[in-house]
């Protein structure tokens, strides 16, 4: 199973997605903004980051860039989760999920990227 970092400023969505992934056997860490997520990613072994796009302090694209520029973190796949945005063509985002999304799609992406990291 994967060590997943979920980043979202919507506490209800954060808790729901965390509970869903944890019930599937994944270890989940949560952050309410990109800056906090970056600190967690540096402190713990993370296999995949699922990040909302629009957040305070540091948005999802800024977080993805920071991860990509960090030699220790750059191999961590980042999945952008958003109701409105799609990742720019020249970003380090590996995949995107459009809100609302099916739980099966979340599990599939998590499993696919976690396998690549192991």
Whether residue 12 contacts residue 68, with contact meaning beta carbons closer than 8 Å, is answered with: no
Q: What is the pLDDT of residue 99?
A: 86
Res 51: pLDDT: 96
- Here the contacts of 16-23 (C-beta below 8 Å, separation 24 or greater) are 17/50, 17/106, 20/103, 20/106, 21/106, 21/107, 21/110
- pLDDT tier for residue 24 given thresholds of 50, 70 and 90: very high
First-to-final CA distance of the chain: 10
- pLDDT at res. 25: 95
Domains of the chain, residue spans: 3-117
Contact by Cβ (8 Å): 55, 9: yes
Give 85's pLDDT tier (boundaries 50, 70, 90). low
Task: Yes or no: say if 79 and 98 are a contact pair by the CB < 8 Å rule.
Answer: no
The two three-digit tokens of residue 37, written as one number:
């997520």
Beta strands in 1-118 (DSSP E): 3-7, 27-31, 48-52, 78-82, 93-98
CATH number assigned to the domain covering 3-117: 3.40.50.2300
């Amino acid at each position: 199973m994967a060590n997943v970092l979920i980043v979202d400023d919507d506490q209800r969505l954060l808790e729901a997605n965390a509970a869903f992934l944890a019930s599937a056997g994944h270890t989940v860490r949560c952050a309410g903004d990109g800056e906090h997520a970056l600190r967690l990613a540096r402190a713990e072994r993370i296999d995949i980051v699922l990040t909302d796009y629009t957040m305070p302090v540091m948005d999802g694209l800024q977080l993805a860039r920071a991860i990509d520029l960090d030699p220790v973190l750059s191999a961590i796949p980042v999945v952008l989760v958003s109701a409105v945005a799609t990742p720019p063509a020249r970003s380090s985002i590996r995949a995107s999920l459009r809100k609302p999304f099916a739980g099966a799609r979340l599990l599939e992406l998590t499993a696919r990227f976690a396998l690549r990291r192991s």
